[in-house]
Amino acid sequence: MVDHELLDHCLANVGIRGTVLQWLRLFLSGWGQRVAMGGGELSHYSLVCGVPQGAILSPMLFNIYMRPLTQLVRSFGLGCHQYADDTQLYLLMDGHPDSAPDTLFRCLEAVAGWLCGSRFKLNPSKTEVLWLGRDDTGLGGQLPSLAGAQLVPAPSVKSLGVIFNASFSMEAQVTAITKAAFFHLRQAKQLVLYFSRPDLATVIHVTVTSGLDYCNSLYVRLPLKLTQKLPQVQNAAARLLTGSSPRDHIHPVLYQLHWLPVEYRIRFKVLVLTFKALYGIGPSYLWDRLSWYVPWRTLRSANNNTLKIPGPREIRLALTRARANFWAVAPAWWNALPQETRALRDLTSFRRASARPLVRVQSDSFSRTRTKEGSQPTHRSL
């Protein structure tokens, strides 16, 4: 749906002109399509819209084409996040909790007009609204319509594969992840007799481990009754891959596979996100939640590359403090790293150094497990 003429203007607006613009025009021209039906082929049609699927330049060209939409939304005072063709608008209704402001109405009208003028087809049935506030506001009837369809608050929405609800409990997300993981494990169990161990490990990593690691930083400080489902998935995957018995202790199995437990994988992800945010290779909204620790008088700790931990005054409620995962947890975990690790500036070196303490803790757990098993005549063995 990317119109070539409109894309040409978008490229010029971002400063792409002259020879480079001519190269991109040649790249987009000459594409066509042909329809085959009943053993015969119809005539060849030239394409005047769209970018080649699978080409390296295509995502960049599409993002440039969609760039004016972000500028339009922010001109109304709303926030906007975009990922490919997924656009999210968010509005802080401070002081107006009972009705949607006129700004939202006018912004949605402008968005619908821009999409129509940019040759895009708007599908209001796929538009979801998540209301983060009191349930007794009666906001459902106050929301505007979009392209003739009335918008209503949804109990949960999916954002880039993560399910959110109004309370941000993450219960639906964890349930969906574990359900899908156990389904894939049951399918992989049927391949044990036919796959080698490296091939089976590849299948498990693609279908199960990747799901556990995706956006796992959102699981920080969730209730134990909810997060304990995730280690159960990892333990089941490890036992399937090694062929160990359910009665065998899981720590030696994970140590044998060089797998970090789920809780350490989450901690490692948060530390890497913190590093990226601090040194400009992560999203700016994460950096906005962090600040370097500056003592009120000259101390030796001033040069230790530590972060300021927010206090009770900055996070009013204890429950909010416990669930403000990145703001409250990231500085504490960062400050717990060795000083030489916090001083690193290379991402690859930091990833290796920050993982060492976690591996060391896992190794200590493995040693304690072997000591217990060696002192008792039990059936547990390696």
The reported pLDDT for the residue numbered 148 is 76
Q: Cβ atoms within 10 A of the Cβ of 157, count?
A: 16
Q: How far apart are CA 311 and CA 139, in angstroms?
A: 34
The reported pLDDT for the residue numbered 137 is 54
The reported pLDDT for the residue numbered 214 is 92
The reported pLDDT for the residue numbered 106 is 87
Is the CB of residue 143 less than 8 Å from the CB of residue 129? yes
Nearest to 379 by CA among 245, 255, 250, 253: 245
The reported pLDDT for the residue numbered 315 is 60
The reported pLDDT for the residue numbered 302 is 58
The reported pLDDT for the residue numbered 360 is 66
What's the pTM?
A: 0.75
Q: How far apart are CA 223 and CA 225, in angstroms?
A: 6
- Mean pLDDT per 10-residue section of the chain, whose length is 382 residues: 86 89 87 78 78 86 90 90 84 65 84 88 82 62 73 84 84 92 93 90 93 89 86 92 85 85 90 90 82 72 74 58 69 88 90 80 60 45 28
* DSSP codes, 284-301: HHHHTT--B---SS--GG
